[in-house]
Amino acid sequence: MTIPATLPGDIELRVSTDPVPYRAALEEMTARNAAIAAGEARELVWLLEHPPVYTAGTSAASAELLDPRFEVVEAGRGGRYTYHGPGQRVGYVLLDLRTHARDARGFVHGLEGWVIETLRDFGVEGFRSEGRIGIWTRDIDGREAKVGAIGVRIRKWVTMHGFAVNIRPDLSHFTGIVPCGIDEFGVTSLERLGKPVDFAAWDAALLARAPAFLAALDRPCPPETAA
């Protein structure tokens, strides 16, 4: 079941309350991306959860698939191997950048910022790390660990895929891959960090920051700086 709504700019918001199989979501996302590019559909932000799956980006290396205990799907997005599963909030963001700043790097920067600002609402300091894709934080042992993944694809200036934030997933499921090709850092979650958050609270905080995220896409990305 989904709950329809609208974001600024007449962007459709869809919140799926039941887990959506990854292949089905990818098929629907691909079709919607093409329809948006053709001017036949509205832009879409889709919040959902997947059954356990490993997804392979265009740079995935076979040696980084350590234990294919779950289905493995070629995602078509940038990046390497990623895990999706219960307890993880996935956000697919399908926007027409032709109506914004036509800035691919700015879109990724804005997406990262949207997640980072939302994490702050729950007392978690998220940050970018130069040379490492994703959203990072300090784990309970003080070391840097990934709390959110970013992976996008842009076709005809229309975006697809998006972000995945670890709310309360089974972190042992990540051990079947080298997440995003980075093996020297761990993976954490809001639950592990002592922040009990449910999807409803996360979604409400995220969507409250959606107008600022969308407004940022109208400005070119700031120059690259060290994290």
180 is catalytic: yes
Instruction: Determine the pLDDT at residue 4.
Output: 47
The answer to the question of whether 92 is labelled as a binding residue is: no
Helix axes 199-208 and 104-121, enclosed angle (nearest 10): 130
- For residue 137, give the nearest of 151, 118, 153, 154 by alpha carbon: 118
Q: What is the pLDDT of residues 33-87, one digit of tens each?
A: 999 999 999 999 999 999 999 998 888 888 889 888 899 998 888 778 889 999 9
More reliable by pLDDT, 63 or 4: 63
For 56-83, letters b (16+ CB in 10 Å) and e give bbeebeeebbeeeebebbebbbbbbbbb
**pLDDT band, residue 24 (cuts 50/70/90):** very high
pLDDT-wise least confident of 61-65, 95-99, 166-170: 61-65
The answer to the question of whether 162 is labelled as a binding residue is: yes
Structural domains of the chain ordered from first start: 2-216 (3.30.930.10)
Instruction: Determine the pLDDT at residue 77.
Output: 83
pLDDT-wise least confident of 50-54, 77-81, 95-99, 179-183: 179-183
Residue 183 has pLDDT above 70, yes or no: no
118-146 average pLDDT score? 93
**pLDDT band, residue 12 (cuts 50/70/90):** very high
The answer to the question of whether 132 is labelled as a binding residue is: no
Instruction: Determine the pLDDT at residue 224.
Output: 59
- For residue 33, give the nearest of 89, 92, 90, 91 by alpha carbon: 92
9-30 average pLDDT score? 96
Catalytic residue among 29, 47, 180, 214: 180
Query: pTM for the complete prediction?
Result: 0.90
